[in-house]
Structure 1
Amino acid sequence: MAVFKVKFTKTKRHKLAQILWILNWISVATGVTLFSLGLFLKIEIKKRSEVMAKGEINSVPNMLISVGVIACIINFLGGKICYDCSDTTKFSRWRLVMLPYIVCTFCFTFCILVGALMCYTMRNELEESLYLGLRDAIKFYKDTDIPGRCFLKKTIDLLQIGFQCCGNNGFRDWFEIQWISVRYLNMASKEVLDRLKSNVDGKFLVDGVPFSCCNPSSPRPCIQYHLTNNTAHYNYDFLMEELNIWMKGCRQALLDYYTDIMRSIGLTVLIIWLFEISVLIGVRYLQTAMKSVLLLSDPECESDGWLLENSFVETAKYNFSIIKNLGKANQISTVSEMNDPNMDVQTANYGPENVQSKSIPTAS
């Protein structure tokens, strides 16, 4: 028994074809939207590539760009098919194409759903990429004289100012690395030498942060050095001076920024997926209704359209049997190829006159 059977008159079939023609052209615009969203996300990731570790974070924008291009092609073809399906004589040209087209469109809409889900599951990969990238970028902050790293100081400073953040996880990350270049250290100073010797790795570590960590909303001049020493500054308590520097880490700030973008893109892609599913359902009804018209050979008659010709269980069993038979066919062909050389050997041993009387093993 057909699933979700609907009866169509000639007028309804014609109207359905016209509506689907319009919807397919709208779907071309949604394909352009998918492409644009993927391109926008790729550009946003590219902007911060210096503070991101190389990984699979580009998989989502690449997926959206690919799906967007495919959507434009498929829906352009779908518009042409639906326009011709308003005429029975023209439909006969697309009769054999429509079912493969519907199958390809179904796979395509599934890819759109996968792309939407990837937008919501990308957070963990993005967080790890930001953590590793920011860790290395901060470590090389001082290397302004080394080619390939000289831009990182400017990148980190602009990042901390723009996103109102400090460090990777927080401002204390700057306490654990030497972010001041040796070029700007007075090696004749006893204080500098003592600080270098006091560290096992010979690093110049200070309880201070770069100027880009300073909060311009602070009511007092920014305190960059001796942040944890209350006696080094007048009327100062580092536990209470939250406005002095940015407290949020740049990893969390960037993660929040990209998460908001990904949620917006994911919601848009889900809406596009629902729209594409509705168009696919309409095309399926049109295909089955026009198929019935061709069987009845009467363009003026009423015809039935459906989503599935049989029930869900019967359709699943039928498809499973096709897959099973394909597996058996491959197995038989493999066995036959293995037996062919043996057949030649037996023919050579026993001669042509004995081939007919000698039983030769074959695949059953």
Structure 2
Amino acid sequence: VNAKFPIRAQKFPAVFAVNINWFMSWPEAALVAVSSAFLGSYKIDCTDDDRQKLYSLTGAFQATVRDITEVYFARMRKHVYVTPKSFLCLIDFYKQLYQIKYEEINVQERSVNVGLQKLKEASEFVEKLKVQLKEQEVVLKAEEKKTTALLDKVMVEKSKADKKAEVVNGQKADCQAEADSINAEKAEAQVELDKALPFLHDAESACNSITKKDIVEIKANRKPLDIIKLTFDGLQILMCKKVVDVAPEERSINKVNATFLKDSYEDYSSKEVQDMNFLQGILDFAANEKDSINDETCELLGPYLRFDEDPAKHWGPFSHPVLDPSLAGKASGAAAGLCKFVGAMVQYHGAAKIVKPK
């Protein structure tokens, strides 16, 4: 014995105190039985025949590995031990791997099923669309015929409209020319109207110059002068009110006696003056009824207003107009205003009638 052997035995006691397990290797049938015991209650998605094949396959794996270890020992002179624990680990690993792969396959299966369902639905939808398309083709052809007919009709109507547009454009040009002519006439009429308006303003001013005091004075005058009476006659004629029948009568104006017309003061004018709205009635006439004055009215007022400085052309009985505001003013302020009013309204009519025919 080597002298170093005791020393090494003291240093490495485990080498000299080893228990050797003399159990024999499990036969393959025992391995299959163990596999069926551990996998029998495990849920596997397969038939019974496939399950039996699985039990046999696991046992065969363990036996094959054991045989390979013997070959390895014969070649490499090294022991590799395959124990029952290794077989149980193989079974547990199979369970874990099976669960993982089973879930992966389920996910893939669901994805494939969803895809197949979508493809089926798409196919059915396409078939429906084909049917609808055929139906729509029939409708489309009918609508196309209608559209073509309508288009032809529109073209015909457009041709008519174009012709009518030419006529309308011609009428438009005529209307524009007529409008231009009317505007020109309107401008001319406005010029004439502007000439007539001052007379209307004079009439309104003359009427506004009459005060209530002047009217009261006339009402109180029991024997008004002839010029006052004739002034009211002129107002009666202007406003188309009643007067007495025409008859000659001696009149005295500005201390000059002459034969003139009989007045209507006592019969009609004196009653008009008593009306409280006398002045307002005259203003309303100037505002609203001025255009009712006609040539006949002005002709009837001719003897009261006409005057010509040439004695050969003047046929009146006095050397002045009968309704002279300056002479009437000496008798009454109201008479002066009324004289101006009557004369201005007659002048307004003369200027305004130039405008009316246009």
TM-score of the superposed pair, with normalisation by structure 1: 0.17
Higher relative contact order (CA 8 A, sep 6+): 1
Higher helix proportion, which one? Answer: 2
Looking at CA atoms only, which structure, 1 or 2, has the larger radius of gyration?
2
TM-score of the superposed pair, with normalisation by structure 2: 0.18
